[in-house]
Amino acid sequence: MIFLENEHIKASLTTKGAELQKLTSKETGRNYLWDGNPDYWGKFSPILFPIVGAIKNNTYLFEGKEYTLPRHGFARDNQFEAEQISNTEVVFTLIQNEETLKVYPFDFKLKLHYKITDASLSCTYIVLNPGNKELLFSVGGHPAFAIPTNEHISYDDYFLEFNKDENLVYYKINSDLIDEETEIIHLQDHSLPLTHQLFYKDALVFKTLKSDCISIKNHKDSHGLHFTFKDFPFFGIWAAKDADFVCLEPWCGIADGINHNQNLKDKEGIIALPPKGNWERSWSIVCF
């Protein structure tokens, strides 16, 4: 484990998957992340790379060859190299290896840069293309935030507050793929009430979200968080059935559509990074 700490918060991270596993407020002692209970979902904040979501039949085509990748790719299950820059900053790095090249024929360097400042933690995804051909990839976040409940406060007392959206248009999921059918959620005062039933049919997937900040709040106390993200064209909101957490997932990439032709170059949201190029996106959490 690697720890980042200042006078306000403490973050715990692991080299497996470069995963953030705890984010604790020193003022309240509260851990803002899900505890990873395997009875519901045994992860905390996995990195999605080199794909986001599922691909059709778990296979894709590239340069006339067929490759197999699991849902959300392989980075979350790989060991990263870690460089702790200071008490408040760490960089994790993963590069291609013999095993990744069997399923993903690209040279790459993936970095996750975590930094804490005051009561905020930021995560920056950095992708570099060291090779001599175009690098095709997607990347996304999947942080799971705890929704604390007790005899005084229930899951239904919480809500998500969107800073710009008044209505949400989401795409349905059909056997892990994105359906063409959409539904609309009309928000009250930019807020979406949380209920376990909201996720019984899988995640809510957005392609036209206007907001760049979503806050988790409740009607019983003043504690919560602001989750800020920028230039992520897709977004997912999800929780395991009846689990007391909610995932806020900024994506540069998306699962295959039900009618996708399986060619990687034609995949919706795929990023094409030229040789020697670099790319980055960030999200951040402010605890209160």
pLDDT of residue 60: 98
- Alpha carbon distance 211, 206 (integer Å): 11
Provide the token pair at 9: 């918060």
Average pLDDT, integer, range 199-203: 95
In the structure, what pLDDT confidence band is assigned to residue 4 with cuts at 50, 70 and 90?
very high
pLDDT of residue 16: 98
pTM listed for this prediction: 0.96
Q: 2-287, which class in CATH?
A: mainly beta
pLDDT of residue 254: 98
pLDDT tens-digit readout, 210-231:
999 999 999 999 999 999 999 9
pLDDT of residue 87: 98
Average pLDDT, integer, range 2-28: 97
pLDDT tens-digit readout, 275-286:
999 999 999 999
Provide the token pair at 5: 């700490």
Average pLDDT, integer, range 50-60: 97
- Alpha carbon distance 130, 278 (integer Å): 9
- Alpha carbon distance 37, 245 (integer Å): 11
- Alpha carbon distance 20, 3 (integer Å): 10
> Average model confidence (pLDDT) for the chain?
97
- Alpha carbon distance 101, 253 (integer Å): 20
- Alpha carbon distance 234, 253 (integer Å): 7
Average pLDDT, integer, range 162-188: 96
pLDDT of residue 287: 95
Average pLDDT, integer, range 180-201: 97
Average pLDDT, integer, range 113-140: 98
- Alpha carbon distance 136, 62 (integer Å): 10
Sheet containing 120-128: give its strands across.
81-86, 89-95, 109-117, 120-128, 278-287, 225-229, 213-218, 158-162, 191-193
- Alpha carbon distance 7, 27 (integer Å): 9
pLDDT of residue 11: 98
Per-position DSSP letters for 252-271, written without gaps between them:
ES-PPBTT---BGGG-TT-E
Average pLDDT, integer, range 26-36: 95
In the structure, what pLDDT confidence band is assigned to residue 12 with cuts at 50, 70 and 90?
very high
Average pLDDT, integer, range 161-184: 96
- Alpha carbon distance 279, 268 (integer Å): 18
